[in-house]
Amino acid sequence: MKKIIETVPNFSEGRDRNNIERIILPFKGHDNVKLLDVHTDADHNRMVVTAVGEPEALKHAVIEAVGVAVKVIDMPAHRGEHPRMGAVDVVPLIPIKNATMEEAITLSKEVAREIWETYHLPVFLYEESASTPIRKNLADIRKGQFEGMPEKLKSSEWKPDFGEREIHPTAGVVAVGARMPLIAFNVNLDTNNLEIARAIAKTVRYSSGGLKYCKAIGIALKERNITQVSMNMTDYTQTPLHQALELVRTEAKRYGVNVVGSEIVGLVPMAALVDSAAYYMGFEDFNIEKVLEAKMME
């Protein structure tokens, strides 16, 4: 049974076609690594790569790609709308199949050490790999962005986990860490009243008393004249998608509002959808082993 890890590194390059090709090349050239998706955004000047593979092979590919990014991206000259703190903003490592979170954490620390030792790019460990609670959240690490990092690294709490209190001059710093698969799940409401979407988001999200593995905000979909509860499901094995959807639906009733659709942004693990299908269809004694493709991938 092959172990499969996913990585979704974010690179601060979304414009130069040549650089983009060079950065993703390592994910194409390794056995036992598969490049699934490349999403570039010129406004953000940023690229999100999705790849899966066996742990060792994926580790080498991601380290190699980081090396290319450090070489070709010049952060002092970088402009773009998305917050960023380095040539490689973040390297998440996600256990997908036959791999535990513990193994993903170990792998993330190997990646972090090698990035520092090879490229002298300082690394913060984040999420499940974080060395302290204030480093769990990527947004907290990134606060201050590339321009504010030199000063931030000098403050007592912000010595990198690997590296010294000094940024890489052209590549800044990077966050590396293990986390669960994240599912971007949006639910649309038949109201253009943004206050209602925001109130529902507040009810379903963990930070204000809602579901443990759910982040949510209310946003307007102006062209459609409706609103949306935009969610990040941070552990679908603990907080399933259908739970979030049904809670939004139930809360919406309070305002005389209905759910009119939903969407998944990016990729979603099969198990998350199979789990929700089993819920809605009332399967007794179902498990993922009954799915042909799950058996095929064993």
Catalytic residues: 82
Tokens matching residue 116: 């520092």
- Work out whether 283 is an interface residue with a second copy (CB under 8 A): yes
- Work out whether 219 is an interface residue with a second copy (CB under 8 A): no
Stretch that binds a second copy, among 73-81, 141-149, 152-160, 255-263 (CB under 8 A): 255-263
Tell me the Ramachandran region of residue 93: left when phi exceeds 0, alpha when psi lies from -120 to 50, beta otherwise. beta
Tokens matching residue 223: 């062209």
Stretch that binds a second copy, among 59-67, 147-155, 164-172, 278-286 (CB under 8 A): 278-286
Segment 51 to 70, residues that bind a second copy, using CB under 8 A:
52
Which of 21, 29, 36, 148 binds a second copy (CB under 8 A)? It is: 36
Which of 6, 13, 114, 128 binds a second copy (CB under 8 A)? It is: 6
Stretch that binds a second copy, among 18-26, 77-85, 142-150, 282-290 (CB under 8 A): 282-290
Stretch that binds a second copy, among 20-28, 99-107, 170-178, 288-296 (CB under 8 A): 288-296
Instruction: Say how far apart CA 5 and CA 247 lie, in whole Å.
Output: 31
Segment 167 to 206, residues that bind a second copy, using CB under 8 A:
181, 188
Best CA proximity match to 30, nearest among 67, 56, 3, 1: 56
- Work out whether 28 is an interface residue with a second copy (CB under 8 A): no
**60-64: long-range contacts (C-beta < 8 A, 24 or more apart)?**
60/26, 60/30, 61/26, 61/27, 61/29, 61/30, 61/33, 62/7, 62/9, 62/26, 62/27, 62/91, 62/111, 63/111, 63/114, 63/115, 63/118, 64/26
Instruction: Say how far apart CA 109 and CA 113 lie, in whole Å.
Output: 6
Report the residue number, 4 or 63, with the smaller CB distance to a second copy: 4
Report the residue number, 73 or 183, with the smaller CB distance to a second copy: 183
- Work out whether 253 is an interface residue with a second copy (CB under 8 A): no
- Work out whether 31 is an interface residue with a second copy (CB under 8 A): no
Which of 28, 29, 37, 155 binds a second copy (CB under 8 A)? It is: 37
Report the residue number, 217 or 291, with the smaller CB distance to a second copy: 291
Binding mask 87-106 for a second copy (x = CB under 8 A): ---------x----------
Stretch that binds a second copy, among 25-33, 78-86, 230-238, 279-287 (CB under 8 A): 279-287
Report the residue number, 217 or 264, with the smaller CB distance to a second copy: 264
DSSP state of 156: G
Decide: helix, strand or coil at residue 14: coil
Query: How distant, in Å, are the alpha carbons of 72, 94, 130, 233, 284 from that of 125?
Result: 24, 14, 5, 21, 41
- Work out whether 221 is an interface residue with a second copy (CB under 8 A): no
Taking only Cα atoms into account, the Rg of the chain, rounded to an integer number of angstroms, comes to 20
Q: What does the binding site for a second copy look like in residue numbers (CB under 8 A)?
A: 4, 6, 34, 36-37, 52, 96, 181, 188, 241-242, 245, 259-264, 266-270, 273-274, 276-278, 280-286, 290-297
